[in-house]
Amino acid sequence: TQLLEQSPQFLSIQEGENLTVYCNSSSVFSSLQWYRQEPGEGPVLLVTVVTGGEVKKLKRLTFQFGDARKDSSLHITAAQPGDTGLYLCAGVPFGNEKLTFGTGTRLTIIP
């Protein structure tokens, strides 16, 4: 059983469209991170959210941490081919010292 479930698992959309991917858990997290991984490379940190209800924006990307600190979402506006990649959420659950990665969403933006 995965601690962090991401949905959808795969997403393919046209350039210019908007999209949202989700990261859900039944556990409470002290903080949650989002990474993007491109083929042949390691994951790269995009953002860390630490406060329930927090919203962070990174250009066309908007990250939200759920009020109960159990879930998070990533919204991309006007997707571009450069957004293509594997998006991973990761968090440290309260009471557990191990950083856990989600199952991932593989995003493809079609030009």
Partner 1 sequence: DAGVIQSPRHEVTEMGQEVTLRCKPISGHNSLFWYRQTMMRGLELLIYFNNNVPIDDSGMPEDRFSAKMPNASFSTLKIQPSEPRDSAVYFCASSASGGLGDTQYFGPGTRLTVL
Sign of CA dihedral 44, 6, 13, 50: negative
CA distance 56 to 67: 14
In the complex, the smallest distance separating the C-beta of residue 14 from partner 1, rounded to whole angstroms, is 26
Q: Identify which of residues 98 and 111 has a Cβ nearer to partner 1 in the complex.
A: 98
Q: List contacts with partner 1 (CB under 8 A).
A: 2, 30-31, 33, 40-45, 48, 50, 88, 90-92, 97-104
Sign of CA dihedral 33, 99, 95, 7: positive
In the complex, the smallest distance separating the C-beta of residue 71 from partner 1, rounded to whole angstroms, is 17
